Structure 1
């Protein structure tokens, strides 16, 4: 039985991954932004443990984790949470940049740093759910894409740094996926949202589980998933 720490388990891709792992009997540790959200996640996934830490305030994560009981080992750390605020460079404020850089880049780096000892014990696996915006930036996507380009750099460096410790690192780049975040993106773009046009979160979850379950003689470094319609 494996133990997985998951961010973003409340909806979309994170919910699909958490459900699939729970169904096969793995242990879940679910990161929640506050105590109220922790209770909601505990109700959604009976038997799962929760860990409270606000990804929008990465400077406080070390203190928050120190106040709670951490797992002794982790077989995987799944970074799935993220935020998006679209806008042209000429209109984006420093606050909009910081919100996305903190939640999408600085917080994943800090969570990884804080649980690396447990990942090394288990020779575990770190999975970063990135985005197509982590490979190419489009108009209006500068801040979000910058955070995701940075996340790619984080994963690439971590992979080389932790190879000798047996820690595997995978980045998954999903295209547009039917999720609450995608619905928000469509509102910001002023477009009608039709979830049938985009990737089912279950399909992305399948790719994540494939990477996790790969035998130890191989490692998926980067995996791109695009809508098939």
Structure 2
């Protein structure tokens, strides 16, 4: 039996890597990333995987990488790549705004556009890894939640545009997740890092797998994930 194929951007670290691990037993992985060595190392870890190496912020790099895949069919894409940041709005430059929108919104739209012929061939699934900040803006800095609200809008629009084609579109909104990026954010906040405060990447990957393996009569349109109330009870005594 042919494995369903799924392209995972940002597949070498954090949530993307956890998604790859969760899907590897029964999917063919197309693992995306900018670092060739990291992508090829990740591919070597799985029975069925191939690289997708490009800079998603670069239009030509993205188009060339998609063309090189030569895909006639694709069962799913998981948009996991992105950037975060916590600068106050008064400290943010136009360059910061542009870079964040380029990666968190425009790259998602552009890559989806390029993959649509292959996704239509399978009536596939699109999953975007969004954020709780895509549902409610809080904290310092407007650029990150602005991009995530924009991603929510993009996902909502894609869902309705592609519904007649049988393509399912799911937006996953996790709270803060225990990743390298999270450690950098906490360090910028000048406070100690406690992994028990955060979701595990594997928990988000479980939600993604649920969306991708939904029965044909169902679609998970929006999944919101937060740390369980009992999380504080997992601390060592």
TM alignment of 1:1-229, pairs within 5 A: 1-23=3-25, 25-58=26-59, 60-66=61-67, 68-228=68-228, 229=231
Tell me the secondary structure at the aligned position of residue 9 of structure 1: coil
- Residue 46 of structure 1, CA deviation: 4.8
Aligned partners of 1:201 and 1:38: how far apart in 2? 18
Aligned partners of 2:81 and 2:188: how far apart in 1? 19
Alpha-carbon contact 1:7-1:32 (below 8 Å) kept: yes
Aligned partners of 2:154 and 2:59: how far apart in 1? 15
Aligned partners of 2:59 and 2:110: how far apart in 1? 7
Alpha-carbon contact 1:53-1:65 (below 8 Å) kept: no
- Residue 82 of structure 1, CA deviation: 1.3
Aligned partners of 1:155 and 1:135: how far apart in 2? 13
Provide the alpha-carbon RMSD of the alignment.
1.5
Which structure 1 residue ranges, 5 or more long, are not aligned?
Answer: none
Alpha-carbon contact 2:30-2:52 (below 8 Å) kept: yes
1:186-229 alpha-carbon deviations (Å, 9 max, x no partner): 11222211112211111111111111111111111111000112
Tell me the secondary structure at the aligned position of residue 69 of structure 2: coil
TM-score (normalizing by structure 2): 0.90
1:37-58 alpha-carbon deviations (Å, 9 max, x no partner): 4323323335311112212324
- Residue 161 of structure 1, CA deviation: 0.4
- Residue 94 of structure 1, CA deviation: 1.2
Following TM superposition, the consecutive aligned residue runs of length 4 or more in structure 1 with deviations greater than 4 angstroms are none
Tell me the secondary structure at the aligned position of residue 89 of structure 2: coil
Aligned residues: 227
TM-score (normalizing by structure 1): 0.94
1:49-71 alpha-carbon deviations (Å, 9 max, x no partner): 111221232454223433x1332
| Cα separation, partners in 2 of 1:138 and 1:59, compared to 1, 3 Å | farther
Alpha-carbon contact 2:12-2:39 (below 8 Å) kept: no
Which structure 2 residue ranges, 5 or more long, are not aligned?
Answer: 232-237
1:92-113 alpha-carbon deviations (Å, 9 max, x no partner): 0111111211111110111100
